Amino acid sequence: MDKTAFLSQAEQHCLRLGNRLTALRRQVLELVLGYPGVVKAYQVLADLQKERGVAAPPTVYRALDFLVENGLLHRVEALNGFIVCEHFDCPHEGLILVCARCGGVTELDATGPMAALRDASAAAGFAVAPQNLVLTGTCQSCQA
């Protein structure tokens, strides 16, 4: 992924939504882009403190929340972290594949499988909230 192009597209995406990718939000997004897979908020905070000197945790959490709300990141609750969304504001629920060896992440459209799970849950009287499903295993590169 070309970081410069991604950041430019992210800025345009935010403007289309009527929001601004401020310097701080952009810097947080750049830091997340520097990680190959799931990144935790405390990692972003530590990196930001190295670059800026002083950065408070709420500052990072607010920036991460903004990036999630604007479809630039996904919050991966199961791993207590964040991943970059390469398709801006996904219209689908994703299947997030996380390699346990290298930490690499792949996101797939899981609309069909999630619909089947939602239907089965509804038959049991349970309403499933919109979400991404995380599966851990070993990627093709690490299997070789």
Residue list for the binding site:
99, 102, 139, 142
At 128, phi and psi to the nearest 5? Answer: -85, 130
| Residues of the binding site for Zn(2+) | 99, 102, 139, 142
Distance, CA of 71 to CA of 89 (rounded, Å): 4
Pairing of strands 133-137, 94-99: parallel
For 84, the 3-state DSSP assignment is strand
The closest of 80, 82, 72 to 37, measured between CA atoms, is 82
